[in-house]
Chain A
């Protein structure tokens, strides 16, 4: 497929605009990280980080998300080949991995809340649940977007609009894995080490 220069310029504009939005998200997470850094010692006599964080579990979540970021990249390569089947397969794999991540995270939240370590217990837990939960919410919204895009690709094929949306979704997905790097380092690893 070749596209007209003004179509490509319009899509280049969309990529820039969406990337700018991702930078606002970066600052949003920075504010949440700053809050976590300031409040993580506010345990108010309740559970502390090394009591509730589990390194193998965090490693599992990390590897799953990293794998999903890789499979997302594979979907772009499939799109360049013009293979909508390849795109749908990679996106399905990304969806499954991402969905597993969300389910694991929710189960951890539920376990903590049931064991007296819910978000309303202390400032530390409030900031933990909000930081990690906001990331998880972004992942969940990404999954909804992914599903809608798969429907669109299945119904209409690799149109220019779908190619563009795939590019934007992949930026979003990779960005979320980048944020997770800092979450597992600053929250889980630091929480256990320090």
Chain B
């Protein structure tokens, strides 16, 4: 540091002051960066949103294939993230819920379809952080199809209205069941 100080002193002595105060250079660079970011964001925002919506739509189609339009339903509870009415044309076929449950490794986002009788039509896992090869087995239709036709409150491994957990992934299975139950109760509360 001392050497640098001597060099700087010598440079200053030779009248080699920095032309522009460093702060202004920093501000200029930040300004350019921010403008560039704003531009890229502007040109990609629509496409990114479209991709997100298409993903959500495909997931809803997977749980209630008979429907082709999903319109949001006003929902003020806290059990599910969002509720949608599933329509084929103008005919209401059932409801779809976007639910988040606490899994073994983090949040599990899923879509649950419920028909007009309050029975599950399908479950789709959108995202999760379960252990690969173990808990991740709950994303497969082998397990998810066990929920189809269920209503009321589903239990895992024990009880009358139950589904069997994936071997070795009881916690992940229970998390998915909790999500399904939340969806069922939210739809039931619509009356």
A and B: partners? no
